[in-house]
């Protein structure tokens, strides 16, 4: 191997762009003050990542044999759904979430089921001792001898053990504790995270072996380290949930082998995480009957329609500037919709505080949520309750028009299955919808083309 020459470089913590000198603004992602200095290593012929110095010859697309991806079913239905049908062999999967949200618990439950089915698994921990992992695993049930525990942070030693042992699945908990001697920085730094992820990616593709890496998140809710980390991996999963709530949401932000934005719902119990098979029923638990400001909407999360309750509270302000608060949805979108209501309907909201909440702890950013937010604001402002068996969905534009959304039939079918009697949707969807009358269970459909018509309907 050629002798390595070490030098210093600057990396953008947002997109991973490399520059020989410090820059105030990244030329790739245009973010300000994101460059951090990190040593880098140039190799003449090869690297310690195991990349051969022999160059591959180009080939035509028609000569490439592309078979169906080989998948391993975990036995956890919600996890398999989010992954797109199971774990793809040779894939690199990043799992992020707040501390204590349940990332390690979910992965240990997955290891328990897979090892019981004869799969060889290596669990590498850089944060806990073997006894701590054993104590945490005891409350999940009995484990067989196919699960191996390794407490190590040196990535070189881990790579050698994985190469010799050849497990089918490897868990790295967490990526911020791993270090590579070539990077020359402390564990958790941008350079170390970048180096460790690149090395694990090549290890996963060359053996092949499926590798899960656990990542801590920052206060902004993104995985700590350079954003290049998310670009390098095949799948990015985020574990979400309120600290005091017992329910957790596993969301696929990126998936090269399945649908993105797919969601899985779990309930945290003493014996681990349990699947929630009917998320819509859970999201509507405890919904008040015939209360102003409460509206049920239908959102599409990945391939699954989910009903949720949107709550709005509009009241006279006691401040010079009215307060605006949004929980579970985009704050700027709420401000935009309130401006549309004020301009197009002539309702003066400048002297009112407005609080918007998606009940249940799930975050929804789909445009189909717009019509529900507008309906909840109008209901609270006028202090008039909507029928508790009414559901609505649709996107609202700046001139007050209600625009069509995708998969209207799926949304209507989900609402009818849960016993709703009235559905308000965009008129463009209403004119094209094709749903069996028997499947509707007597539910009435109404199409609106603007928020003026919405005000008349509700």
Domain termination residue (choose one: 238, 262, 277): 277
Domains in the chain: how many in total?
3
Q: Which domain holds residue 13?
A: 5-42
List the CATH number of the domain containing 162. 3.40.50.300
pLDDT at residue number 222:
56
Domain membership of residue 83 (yes or no) is yes
List the CATH number of the domain containing 294. 3.30.230.10
The verdict on 209 and 295 lying in the same domain is no
Domain membership of residue 261 (yes or no) is yes
The C-alpha atoms of residue 403 and residue 423 are separated, in whole angstroms, by 15
Domain termination residue (choose one: 247, 277, 307): 277
Distances (CA, A) of 410 to 265, 406, 417, 436, 445: 19, 9, 11, 12, 14
The verdict on 28 and 111 lying in the same domain is no
Domain membership of residue 48 (yes or no) is no
- pTM > 0.85: yes or no: no
Q: Which of 219, 247, 221, 197 is nearest to 93 (CA)?
A: 197
- Please state, as a whole number, how many other Cβ atoms lie within 10 Å of the Cβ of residue 416: 21
Domain membership of residue 50 (yes or no) is no
Domain membership of residue 87 (yes or no) is yes
The verdict on 323 and 407 lying in the same domain is yes
Domain membership of residue 244 (yes or no) is yes
Domain membership of residue 100 (yes or no) is yes
Report whether pLDDT(336) > 50: yes
> Pick the residue with more confidence: 65 or 44?
65
Q: What is the tens place of the pLDDT at every residue in 198-225?
A: 899 999 999 989 999 998 776 555 554 5
The verdict on 171 and 302 lying in the same domain is no
The verdict on 270 and 384 lying in the same domain is no
The radius of gyration of the chain from alpha carbons, rounded to an integer in Å, stands at 25
The verdict on 257 and 295 lying in the same domain is no
Average pLDDT, the chain: 87
The verdict on 288 and 367 lying in the same domain is yes
């Amino acid at each position: 191997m050629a002798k390595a020459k070490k030098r210093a470089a600057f990396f953008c913590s947002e997109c991973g762009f490399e520059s020989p000198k410090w820059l105030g603004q990244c030329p790739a992602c245009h973010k300000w003050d994101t460059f951090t200095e990190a040593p880098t290593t140039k190799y003449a012929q090869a690297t310690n990542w195991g990349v051969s110095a022999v160059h591959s010859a180009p080939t035509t697309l028609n000569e490439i044999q592309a078979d169906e991806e080989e998948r391993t079913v975990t036995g956890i239905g919600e996890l398999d759904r989010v992954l797109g049908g199971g774990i793809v062999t040779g894939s690199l999967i990043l799992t992020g979430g707040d501390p204590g949200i349940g990332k390690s618990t979910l992965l240990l439950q997955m290891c328990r089921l897979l090892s019981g089915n004869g799969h060889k698994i290596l669990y590498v921990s850089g944060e806990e001792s073997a006894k701590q992992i054993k104590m945490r695993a005891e409350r999940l049930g009995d484990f067989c001898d196919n699960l191996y525990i390794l407490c190590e942070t040196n990535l070189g030693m881990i790579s050698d053990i994985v190469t010799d042992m050849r497990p089918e699945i490897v868990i790295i908990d967490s990526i911020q504790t791993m270090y590579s001697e070539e990077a020359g920085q402390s564990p958790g730094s941008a350079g170390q995270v970048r180096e460790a992820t690149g090395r694990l990616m090549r290890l996963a593709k060359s053996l092949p072996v499926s590798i899960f890496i656990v990542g801590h998140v920052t206060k902004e809710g993104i995985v700590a380290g350079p954003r290049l980390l998310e670009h390098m991996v095949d799948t990015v999963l985020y574990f979400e949930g309120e600290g005091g709530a017992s329910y957790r949401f596993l969301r696929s932000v990126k998936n090269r082998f399945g649908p993105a934005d797919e969601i899985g719902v779990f309930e945290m119990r003493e014996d681990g995480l349990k699947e929630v098979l009917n998320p819509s029923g859970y999201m509507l638990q405890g919904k008040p009957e015939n209360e102003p400001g409460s509206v049920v909407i239908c959102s599409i999360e990945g391939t699954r329609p989910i009903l949720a309750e949107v709550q709005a509270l509009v009241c006279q302000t006691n401040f010079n500037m009215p307060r605006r608060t949004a929980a579970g949805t985009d704050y700027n979108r709420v401000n935009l919709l309130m401006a549309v209501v004020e301009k197009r309907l002539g309702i003066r909201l400048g002297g009112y505080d407005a609080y918007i909440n998606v009940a249940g702890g799930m975050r929804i950013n789909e445009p189909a949520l717009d019509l529900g937010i507008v309906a909840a604001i109008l209901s609270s402002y006028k202090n008039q309750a909507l029928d508790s068996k009414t559901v609505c969905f649709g996107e609202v534009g700046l001139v007050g028009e209600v625009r069509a959304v995708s998969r209207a039939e799926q949304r209507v079918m989900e609402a009818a299955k849960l016993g709703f009697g009235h559905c308000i949707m965009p008129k463009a969807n209403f004119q094209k919808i094709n749903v069996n009358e028997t499947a509707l269970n007597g539910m009435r459909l109404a199409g609106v083309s603007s928020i003026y018509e919405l005000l008349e309907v509700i």
